Amino acid sequence: MRRSKSYLLIILLLIPLALFAIGCSDKNEVATVAVDMGDELDPAVWGKEYPLQYDSYLKNNEMSKTDFSGSEKESKFISEPEIKELFKGYGFSIDYNEDRGHTYALEDLLASKRVNETTPGSCMTCKSPSVPKLIETMGASYYTTPLRELAKDVKHSIACSNCHDSKTNELKVSQPAFIDAMNKRGIDVTKASKQEMRTYVCGQCHVEYYLEKDTKVVTFPWTEGLEPTNIEAYYDKMEFSDWEHPDSKAGMRKVQHPEFETWSTSVHGTAGVSCADCHMPYMREDGKKFSSHLWTSPLKTMDVSCQTCHTQDQAWLKERVLNTQTKTFDQQVKVSKVIEEAHQAIKKALAESTVDKNKIKEAQALVVKAQWYWDWVAAENSRGFHNPVQALNSLTTAMENAYKAKEIANSSY
Ligand code: HEC
Ligand code: HEC
Ligand code: HEC
Ligand code: HEC
């Protein structure tokens, strides 16, 4: 009897603690009065009404590195030379840089060597606040208009109205692909909670996507689920490929940047910790509390990004992050070498006159699978941190399939 009472007491004491752990501190303290911004897209004009948020937004122009990330425009070929081989025959073997701040998104897109005269307007979709209006007025032709032509009417890189309603300043998603894909999963984003919106606004862009074949409409492949295996199944069904690898002649797929999908099955994601909890911590200036609008590595702000929930000291937390990232990166590089060998083994087999065509097909399917799971981790921007279990699991699947591809190719003649 006494025991069960004290259990009850402990449970009652734990509830607020648990709530604190997932929801964190006093959000409602952030006081702002909404101003109707009309059709304004220029962040500087919004900034006159919301100076604290705008000042922190301008800091996206500054660049600095962390061990595994950072916001300097640096070619991925320096730290990951093997990707040049894996993406051979595709734009990502010509130009592939580390990502940087939101204020550079438009400039970096237009400067990319992957962009040419035939690049469709679709590629503007995650780069500017002009996009929702353009889709509204142009309809389907927005996606098929050449990017360079579309760019003439686009002035601003990612800004306020990509995430905020211009009238109420409430968080809002405007990306049709996100709304549509969530609908197909039975989720109505207009009914999302405030905490969900603190992730959904990011999920508009930080995701895996593809362009529909003829219409070039940006589409999120989510009907089978959000795990890499579900999305692989989706693409298998439609026999989708992005390009043919010139050595193995396999129809390859490029993963984009699946931060939202990766987060959604992680410890933090399932505990309800949003992207904004870590990436847009609360700051204070002149006694006023506001959300940081500098979207960068949370390792630069661990006191307000992590220690709001975690009681451990910063050095310990950072060591946990680096441990995950180092192990993930080591494994990622090892796997990429075996995938490269698999492409070469298939190339060699294809040149043999006695080759068994069925075995080659099998080996090609396996190398596609291997590279898919490898790229799920390589293209995701946290180097394993967002979901350490999924990252290592994906790399194991990749390794297994790369070895099998090699073995079958070597035994095909
Ligand atoms: C409209 C599309 C869009 C939305 C919405 C968006 N992002 Fe981004 N984000 C991008 C693009 C594009 C880049 C890369 C820009 C570049 O490299 O030029 C990027 C880069 C980043 C970076 C890397 C910055 C660096 O220093 O390397 C972080 C962190 C980030 N976003 C976090 C977020 C978070 C958190 C949210 C939600 C609160 C969010 N983003 C919402 C498109 C978007
Ligand atoms: C990538 C998405 C994104 C962009 C772009 C963005 N915001 Fe925010 N903003 C957020 C999120 C998330 C919050 C937190 C809202 C919450 O918790 O209710 C927020 C909160 C705010 C708030 C409420 C007070 C606060 O600080 O929490 C204001 C005001 C605001 N933003 C202004 C702006 C302005 C001005 C711009 C453009 C210079 C901008 N935002 C661009 C995502 C964004
Ligand atoms: C629990 C905290 C946490 C949550 C939640 C979280 N992130 Fe991260 N994110 C991190 C850490 C830590 C890194 C690694 C930064 C580094 O290596 O310096 C990172 C890295 C990133 C990067 C690369 C940053 C760079 O500098 O290149 C992007 C982009 C990003 N996260 C977007 C997101 C998005 C979008 C979400 C939500 C779907 C999200 N994150 C949820 C902590 C978090
Ligand atoms: C809003 C609350 C919240 C924030 C902010 C937060 N975490 Fe967590 N974190 C949790 C919860 C809840 C768990 C799971 C239960 C536990 O281990 O306490 C967790 C688990 C972890 C784990 C162990 C599980 C894993 O995935 O490896 C690490 C490491 C971690 N967090 C690091 C960080 C770092 C680093 C940051 C800041 C960049 C951060 N967390 C920000 C709530 C948070």
Gap from CA of 306 to ligand 4 centroid (Å): 7
* Shortest-distance Cα residue to atom 37 of ligand 4: 306
Whole-angstrom Cα distance, residue 261 to residue 206?
A: 9
Q: Tens of pLDDT along 9-26?
A: 455 445 444 444 444 444
What is the pLDDT at residue 94? 80
Question: For ligand 1, which residues put their CB under 6 angstroms from it?
Answer: 71, 99-102, 104-105, 108, 126-127, 158, 162-163, 201-202, 204-206, 275-276, 279-280, 295-296
Among the bound ligands, name the one nearest to the CA of residue 319: 4
Gap from CA of 57 to ligand 2 centroid (Å): 9
Specify the DSSP class assigned to residue 123: G
- DSSP H helix total and E strand total for the chain: 19, 6
Could you give the 3-state DSSP secondary structure of residue 33? coil
Pocket lining: 54 vs ligand 2, CB cutoff 6 Å: yes
188's enclosing H/E stretch is: none
Pocket lining: 168 vs ligand 2, CB cutoff 6 Å: no
Pocket lining: 310 vs ligand 4, CB cutoff 6 Å: yes
Among the bound ligands, name the one nearest to the CA of residue 197: 2
Give percent of the chain with pLDDT exceeding 70: 92
Tokens of 408: 């079958």
Nearest CA-CA partner of 366 in 412, 333, 327: 412
Backbone phi, psi, residue 204, to 5° = -65, -30
Q: Tens of pLDDT along 41-97?
A: 999 999 999 999 999 999 999 877 777 776 667 778 788 888 889 999 998 888 788
Ligand 2 atom with minimal separation from the 27 CA: 17
Gap from CA of 167 to ligand 2 centroid (Å): 13
Among the bound ligands, name the one nearest to the CA of residue 204: 1
Whole-angstrom Cα distance, residue 163 to residue 306?
A: 23
Whole-angstrom Cα distance, residue 326 to residue 181?
A: 34
Q: How many residues does the chain have?
A: 413
Q: Tens of pLDDT along 234-272?
A: 999 999 999 999 999 999 999 999 999 999 999 999 999
What is the pLDDT at residue 367? 98
Asked if 364 contacts 333 with a C-beta cutoff of 8 angstroms, the reply is: no
Pocket lining: 21 vs ligand 4, CB cutoff 6 Å: yes
Asked if 338 contacts 399 with a C-beta cutoff of 8 angstroms, the reply is: yes
Q: What is the mean pLDDT of residues 340-362?
A: 97
